[in-house]
Structure 1
Amino acid sequence: MNYKNLLPVLLLFLAIQANAQLSESQSQAIDSLFLEWNKPFRPGGAIGIMQDGKTVFSKAYGLASMEYLVPNTAGTIFNTASVSKQFTAMGIIVLHQQGKLSVDDDIRIYLPELPDFGETITIRHMLHHTSGLRSLHAMLGLAGWRGDDSRTNEDLNRFMLNQSDLNFKPGDEYNYCNTGYMLMVNIIEKATGEKFPDWMKHTVFEPLGMTNTYVEDNYSRIVANNATSYYQVEENKFERAVEYWGYIGSGNMHSTTSDLLRWLSNFHDPQPDWEAHFQMMQTVDPLNNGEKNNYAFGVVTGSVNSHRTIGHSGSIGGFRSNIITYPDEELSIAILTNFSSSSVGQKSNAISNILMGEPVEEKPVEVRDPVKTIKLSNKTLAAYEGSYWHEKENIARKIYLKNDTLRYYRSASSENPLVPVGKDEFQMADVSDVVSVKFEIKGPDRNMIVTVGDGQPGIFNGFDPTEPSKEELESYTGEFYSQELETTYKIYLKNDSLFYHHARHGDHEMKILKKDVLEGEWPLSNSKYKRNEEDQVTGIRVSNGRVKNLWFEKLK
């Protein structure tokens, strides 16, 4: 054998291996990010890093089971929570590529039992979270589910049959929605004739070499090597998270960091016959008004420190997950943890900073050209004071003058100064983005227009808060029933204060934001009263974030 001819090949191999390894200082810097997780008697997680097609870091910290003192390992299986959505999206993409469905199909082709909302909802809408459908947890919360109550796809399917409205016209807005990804399970099963967990295993996971990844549709099942999750309630105190997550499609795929790194590598080096699939996953479409939506098909497209990224995070019980790939740098990071305060997004960014030569510390706010301010008298500033209401988002803001400066008030713990930059124009200080605030005042009418970065302006209308009379307070009381959720809330008056009562949520005080608008604790977060021509209350429309304007009729 001619060993002389092998020498260049051997040197090339060693060079490739060297490039695929971290330096000692990089490994130590990454390891130091997770030292807290290795303290005695606490949960932790597993971290995997792949660079140039090679796994360069794979370690685990803390306990997979605090009860039995079982440590996490690099091979421990974790619930990936909403990271699961990209796999459901891939299932849809496989069927699209096979011609068995189209992402632009009306979902009622496959789910004819769903109500006709008067608008066409496509699979594409659900992939992008722009369907307008009400989201599972917010909807069931209003129906009476408490945080640790079991919830399943069957629960969702049953409630969806009763829905009569959408949150918004499909394509008009982005609003993160678990419902859409759960309904995709029904679509995949309808198109394939198979159970979703089985089909995903032999169609997606096994072909991609993800041997430790599976869909968990029975949270009572015992599967070896799975971590238990915990909530951190104090610095060194944890409580076990009661498992209630019996739904699939939007979450509850279990996996390991090595399987997830193998998955992420396909975004820059796809396996044979998978290139079109992973390219399609990165599809982004604008909203109906042309505004950008960077939520693609089950993944978020974006950038960190000017480096292009594709990824997703997840949260369920005490499990936290974050996977991200930097396809241009062929760098992928997977973090899976089993405790609630693990800050996986910050950890992932810190790792990328270490590996790409950025400082480990949080980068400072982007330096912008100094704002050219102008001086306005207190008399001029006082003209902008008042309360402002955003009808679409159901939020109130207060503008007031303090120490020669206008203040933008959200709540007792959240307000920012406004700096004048032109006639009727201000810029918000002490925020990470450019937030412009413009006032339009014409006699008694006043509006406030708030624009964040390059986003669409939000219009707030001025209103005058008034102290409600006893008669007005009484008019807010009564029992209110939702046919869509089959549940009743009682609003009552006690010691001149309003409260709501629900059999499962108990009693909570409500606050009047403005006439006929009440604010309460979640899930009855915002209630807008409707009156007839005789000024009698007929019902309320309730919003709580991922449910908007759901109708509750006042019972006689």
Structure 2
Amino acid sequence: MKKYNPLFVLAVLLLFSLESLAQSDAAWNQKIDSLFTEWNTPNHPGGAIAVMKDGKTIFSQAYGLASLEYLVPNSTGTIFNTGSVSKQFTAMGIVRLEEEGKLSFDDDIRKYIPELPDFGEKITIRHMLHHTSGLRSLHTLFGLAGWRDDDSRSNADLNRIILNQEDLNFSPGSEYLYCNTGYMLMVNIIENVTGEVFKEWMQENIFSELNMSQTYVEDLYSRVVPNNATSYYGSDHFERAVEYWGYVGSGNMHSTTADLLTWLSNFSHPKKGWESSFLKMQTVDLLTDGSENDYAFGVIVDEHLGKKRIQHGGSIGGFRAYVATYPEDELSIVALTNFSAGNPGGHSNQIAEIILGKSDVEPTPKPTFKSISLSNETLAKFEGTYWDNKAKSMQKVQLKNDTLRYSGTGRERALVPISSNTFKLLDVPADVEVKFETATKKDQLLVSVDGGAPSTFKEVANPEFKEEDLKDYVGEYYSSEVETTYTISVKDGKIELYQVRHGFIPAKVLFKDVLTADYPTNVIQFVRDSKGKITGILITNGRVRNAWFKKVL
């Protein structure tokens, strides 16, 4: 038998291995490239995509135009505004200062920003990192105050308006509610602790240290920086997004796909001296009721395809960004786009499936249940209007054609009884259970989704409303928290609000003393004194809850 030199055998095996990897890379590249055909059509914005596997960049391509006006194409080195992807870098700034002993995650934020109002409850840096602070969020707060979508806004604007706030959305630590305000206030903390300007400190202590040479914080949207993409709204016909974003901490970090791959690689193989920092970034903490929150420090830690994933998206103007790393598989994906329909998160998921394959985790089986029969007399006892005052959500339950029908702002759906007071909601993608308190007492219903903690809807005692009652709502309402007035008036039997910068906002009555209206007001609740006289309104618009407006006229 002919004998071969062991080194020769090893070289042959290595050659075959490299050829196999090259074939695998080529197959992946072809499949990935096919996902972006639409981006590469004439006169179309696009973006840049980069993929790293096992420490090697296996895909890096650019598509479409960086500028529709001047027909400049995107390149793999084009710089994009990453939107809220920025938050993880602000969080890392806090982590590095904590490791230097200059602050604690559990410090009261007023230790570093003493001018903030005392809300009567301790808000910690940890709360802001996890979006559990209860603070009202930037854009919805500004919208309520009269800012339009394309108005310039800055950290200085937030620092003024935050001083007027008298209430929180909820008790710190009790809920998760995405909040740009918290990440902007972390800028104040970093500057007050270091004595340096945030963007300069970040450049020296984060970006330069991690070899991210094309990454920077931008606090002046009118500044001209070469090789930056312009962003656009639309999917077929495009409009240029007017730039108004002068705030930092929560957004407006600019970067390239290559720099972001460098960053993500640290979650698998951190740079020496940064091991504990990238581990702390993945810290998740329970809410005060013991429920889970997968938002860590500026990143979301979840699972995809049965694999651990660390990810975050970003959106500002027409820019859309998404970064994801699967640290145990040493796979990182960066998708940056300059048009609002770019869907980088969806494309990232498709790329992950191409490389990692479909999940080998068995899908959760669709729940089955056995229905029972209840008489119309019994079903009729559950009819009513129900209101979740926390979520500002209304549901109506009505008996139609021998079936209870459940409806809110969407279409009606059937409720099928599985016990004397418990029902399943049909034609929805989740397992939704609706439980009335008792079969004879209908003062509340509990709605749980996929076995989660239930939402409580109280029955509205007097939902009836007469059109002539609209006159009670007419008047002017002023809020010192946002320093603006909303006027409510009735014309031709229709009710509307008016604010000097938003103009007329159509509204309608949900039930007595509760209106729904277009953004930025959304839900308006009238407050009455012991004699039934209206004293003011509470406005909720998503990330601002129960902003008080006193009736002044």
Normalized against structure 1, the TM-score is what?
0.94
CA distance in 1, matches of 2:416, 2:54: 48
Pairing 1:101-116 to 2, within 5 Å after superposition: 101-116=103-118
Pairing 1:164-313 to 2, within 5 Å after superposition: 164-232=166-234, 236-313=236-313
Measured at CA, do residues 430 and 309 of structure 1 come closer, stay the same or move farther in structure 2, by a change above 3 Å? farther
Task: Give the letter for the 2:455 counterpart.
Answer: G
Choose which of 517, 521, 525 in structure 2 pairs with 1:524: 521
Residue 515 of structure 1 is matched in structure 2 by 512
1:30 is paired with a residue whose SS is: helix
Measured at CA, do residues 338 and 477 of structure 1 come closer, stay the same or move farther in structure 2, by a change above 3 Å? same
CA distance in 1, matches of 2:350, 2:534: 54
1:547 and 2:549 matched: no
Pairing 1:342-353 to 2, within 5 Å after superposition: 342-353=342-353
CA distance in 2, matches of 1:20, 1:96: 44
Task: Give the letter for the 1:281 counterpart.
Answer: M
CA contact (8 A) 2:82 2:321 kept: yes
Measured at CA, do residues 131 and 15 of structure 1 come closer, stay the same or move farther in structure 2, by a change above 3 Å? same
2:283 is paired with a residue whose SS is: coil
Residue 163 of structure 2 is matched in structure 1 by 161
Measured at CA, do residues 242 and 71 of structure 1 come closer, stay the same or move farther in structure 2, by a change above 3 Å? same
Measured at CA, do residues 498 and 82 of structure 1 come closer, stay the same or move farther in structure 2, by a change above 3 Å? same
CA distance in 2, matches of 1:395, 1:248: 33
CA distance in 2, matches of 1:34, 1:145: 36
CA contact (8 A) 2:66 2:230 kept: yes
Task: Give the letter for the 1:150 counterpart.
Answer: S
CA contact (8 A) 1:21 1:56 kept: no
Q: What is the CA distance between 1:535 and its match in structure 2?
A: 1.5
Choose which of 433, 444, 450 in structure 1 pairs with 2:430: 433
Cα deviation digits, residues 206-229 of structure 1 (max 9, x gap)? 111111110001100111111000
Residue 465 of structure 1 is matched in structure 2 by 463
Task: Give the letter for the 2:548 counterpart.
Answer: W
Task: Give the letter for the 2:370 counterpart.
Answer: K
Q: What is the CA distance between 1:369 and its match in structure 2?
A: 4.5
Pairing 1:49-68 to 2, within 5 Å after superposition: 49-68=51-70
1:209 is paired with a residue whose SS is: coil
Q: What is the CA distance between 1:14 and its match in structure 2?
A: 7.3
CA contact (8 A) 2:79 2:256 kept: yes
1:423 is paired with a residue whose SS is: coil
Pairing 1:356-371 to 2, within 5 Å after superposition: 356-358=356-358, 366-371=364-369
CA distance in 2, matches of 1:210, 1:18: 32
CA distance in 2, matches of 1:318, 1:477: 39
CA distance in 1, matches of 2:335, 2:505: 38
Residue 370 of structure 2 is matched in structure 1 by 372
1:295 is paired with a residue whose SS is: coil
Q: What is the CA distance between 1:440 and its match in structure 2?
A: 1.9
CA distance in 1, matches of 2:375, 2:15: 72
CA distance in 2, matches of 1:20, 1:180: 46
Choose which of 130, 137, 140 in structure 2 pairs with 1:138: 140
Q: What is the CA distance between 1:529 and its match in structure 2?
A: 1.1
CA contact (8 A) 2:507 2:518 kept: yes
Residue 397 of structure 2 is matched in structure 1 by 399
RMSD: 2.1
Residue 443 of structure 2 is matched in structure 1 by 446
Choose which of 365, 380, 383 in structure 2 pairs with 1:382: 380
Which range is displaced more, 134-143 or 300-309? Answer: 300-309
1:535 and 2:532 matched: yes
Cα deviation digits, residues 527-550 of structure 1 (max 9, x gap)? 111111221111111110100011
CA distance in 1, matches of 2:527, 2:367: 48
1:34 and 2:36 matched: yes
Measured at CA, do residues 349 and 95 of structure 1 come closer, stay the same or move farther in structure 2, by a change above 3 Å? same
Normalized against structure 2, the TM-score is what?
0.95
Task: Give the letter for the 2:94 counterpart.
Answer: I
CA distance in 2, matches of 1:351, 1:416: 36
Task: Give the letter for the 1:210 counterpart.
Answer: M
Q: What is the CA distance between 1:254 and its match in structure 2?
A: 0.4
Choose which of 147, 150, 153 in structure 1 pairs with 2:152: 150
Unaligned 5+ segments in structure 1 are none
1:494 and 2:496 matched: no
Measured at CA, do residues 27 and 170 of structure 1 come closer, stay the same or move farther in structure 2, by a change above 3 Å? same
2:458 is paired with a residue whose SS is: strand
1:302 is paired with a residue whose SS is: strand
2:220 is paired with a residue whose SS is: coil
CA distance in 1, matches of 2:140, 2:500: 17
CA distance in 2, matches of 1:130, 1:102: 17
Cα deviation digits, residues 285-310 of structure 1 (max 9, x gap)? 11111111110000001111221111
Which range is displaced more, 398-407 or 43-52? Answer: 398-407
Task: Give the letter for the 1:47 counterpart.
Answer: I
Q: What is the CA distance between 1:477 and its match in structure 2?
A: 1.1
CA distance in 2, matches of 1:504, 1:195: 33
CA contact (8 A) 1:396 1:410 kept: yes
CA distance in 1, matches of 2:238, 2:225: 23
CA contact (8 A) 1:53 1:265 kept: yes
Residue 477 of structure 2 is matched in structure 1 by 480
1:456 and 2:458 matched: no
CA contact (8 A) 1:22 1:56 kept: no
Cα deviation digits, residues 390-429 of structure 1 (max 9, x gap)? 1211111112344544332122x44433332222112223
Which range is displaced more, 378-387 or 272-281? Answer: 378-387
Measured at CA, do residues 309 and 490 of structure 1 come closer, stay the same or move farther in structure 2, by a change above 3 Å? same
Q: What is the CA distance between 1:371 and its match in structure 2?
A: 2.4
Cα deviation digits, residues 41-96 of structure 1 (max 9, x gap)? 01011111111111111111110000000111111110000000000000000000
CA contact (8 A) 2:313 2:322 kept: yes
Measured at CA, do residues 40 and 459 of structure 1 come closer, stay the same or move farther in structure 2, by a change above 3 Å? same
Residue 422 of structure 1 is matched in structure 2 by 419
Q: What is the CA distance between 1:488 and its match in structure 2?
A: 0.5
Cα deviation digits, residues 503-524 of structure 1 (max 9, x gap)? 1101122111122111111111
Measured at CA, do residues 160 and 21 of structure 1 come closer, stay the same or move farther in structure 2, by a change above 3 Å? farther
Q: What is the CA distance between 1:386 and its match in structure 2?
A: 2.1
Which range is displaced more, 538-547 or 445-454? Answer: 445-454
1:267 is paired with a residue whose SS is: coil
Cα deviation digits, residues 436-479 of structure 1 (max 9, x gap)? 11112465643110011242211111224212252x31111110
